[in-house]
């Protein structure tokens, strides 16, 4: 049995969860996990501003 795990992650946190889900899937006999990432949906201009805001919050 194949299990498709599709995720979207801007900063990598959801990817870490997807890997854990895949480990759980593969602990079942005969099951195989396939992980796929959706492409970035946020425009670069918005993403850049968001990253700058997060950086400012971390420095505060």
Residue 23's pLDDT band, with cuts at 50, 70 and 90, is very high
How far is it, in rounded angstroms, from Cα 41 to Cα 23? Answer: 27
Which residues contact residue 42 at a Cβ distance below 8 angstroms, ignoring those fewer than 6 apart?
A: 10, 50
Structure-block tokens of residue 21: 């889900």
How many folded domains does the chain comprise?
1
pTM across the whole model: 0.69
Residue 18's pLDDT band, with cuts at 50, 70 and 90, is very high
Mean pLDDT for all residues in the chain: 86
What is the domain range of residue 53? 2-59
Place of tokens 């959801």: 14
| Burial of 15 from C-beta contacts in 10 A (0-12 / 13-18 / 19+) | middle
């Amino acid at each position: 049995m194949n299990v498709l795990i599709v995720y979207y992650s801007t900063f990598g946190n959801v990817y870490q969860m997807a890997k854990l889900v895949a480990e759980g899937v593969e602990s079942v006999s005969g099951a195989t996990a396939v992980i796929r990432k959706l492409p970035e949906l946020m425009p670069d201009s918005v993403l850049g501003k968001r990253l700058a805001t997060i950086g400012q919050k971390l420095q505060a």
